[in-house]
Amino acid sequence: MKHTTFNIFNEFRGKAVSVAENLKHVRQDIVALEQRFDRTSDSVRLLAVSKTKPLADIEAAYAAGQRMFGENYVQEAVDKHEHLSHLSDIEWHFIGPIQSNKSRQIAETMAWVHTIDREKIARRLSEQRPVEQLPLNVLIQVNISGEASKSGILLEQLDDMVSLIQQLPNIKLRGLMAIPAPQTSEADQIQVYAPLYQAFKALQQQDCDIDTLSIGMSGDMAAAIASGSTMVRVGTAIFGARNYTS
């Protein structure tokens, strides 16, 4: 029994060290890219994408100083929110597609939602956000590559969506999010991001009080930071390959 306990402890300790080391490397990469593209220091925040990862992995990342975590699946997100409620300053971001019948769970538990692309969902989140909580921070998802398989509004629909969200009392527009089609070069990826960045800056100039451009994952982080990203979403480089469940 002692031997088994010792092995379990060392397995957890090894995982914690691995997550901490991975986080350290990702943060170093972000700093290097900020310098490479003349970005202000600490202008890019790291969202650790923890979907399908066990609580122990999240706790290891938290122990290493990470506070922002992104989840794609509603029930998994709600369960993690409940089981890690003792980590009072953890910040949960919902980054997956939203079904109408799951909007209440999201509104009641998340601090941020990255995937607003329908009026119905925006209204439901505002109506279902508990009044004793701060307004829910939301991002509008934009389909900048025009892919039929991707969620998100088109850029020409952006002004109408912004106007709608600004009228809703219990959600707060913080910015834009996108998942573009992958490109074969960094230069091509930057070109794809350019219209989104221009739209983001235009909204800021309209006094929309937005501050967040959530673009960039492991595969296109450099292009995203070159294109004005203020938040990158990284999972595999921190936690390893995704865990699939049947």
Using alpha carbons, select from 30, 112, 8, 129 the residue that is nearest to residue 68: 112
Whether the predicted pLDDT of 202 surpasses 60: yes
CA distance 165 to 139: 10
Whether the predicted pLDDT of 2 surpasses 50: no
Whether the predicted pLDDT of 13 surpasses 90: no
Q: Are strands 171-177 and 136-141 parallel, antiparallel or unpaired?
A: parallel
Q: What residue has token string 């829910």?
A: 136
Instruction: Give the residue with greater pLDDT, 240 vs 34.
Output: 34
Q: What percent of the chain is modeled with pLDDT above 90?
A: 84
Whether the predicted pLDDT of 39 surpasses 90: yes
Q: Using 50, 70 and 90 to split pLDDT, how confident is the model at 166?
A: very high
Q: Using 50, 70 and 90 to split pLDDT, how confident is the model at 145?
A: confident
Specify the pLDDT at position 151.
87
Mean pLDDT confidence for 130-158:
92
Tokens of 93: 């971001």
**Average pLDDT of every residue of the chain:** 91
CA distance 49 to 144: 22
Please, where are the H alpha helices in 37-118? Answer: 55-63, 74-83, 103-109
C-alpha torsion angle, residues 222, 187, 117, 76 (rounded to 10):
-30
CA 145 to chain centre: 19
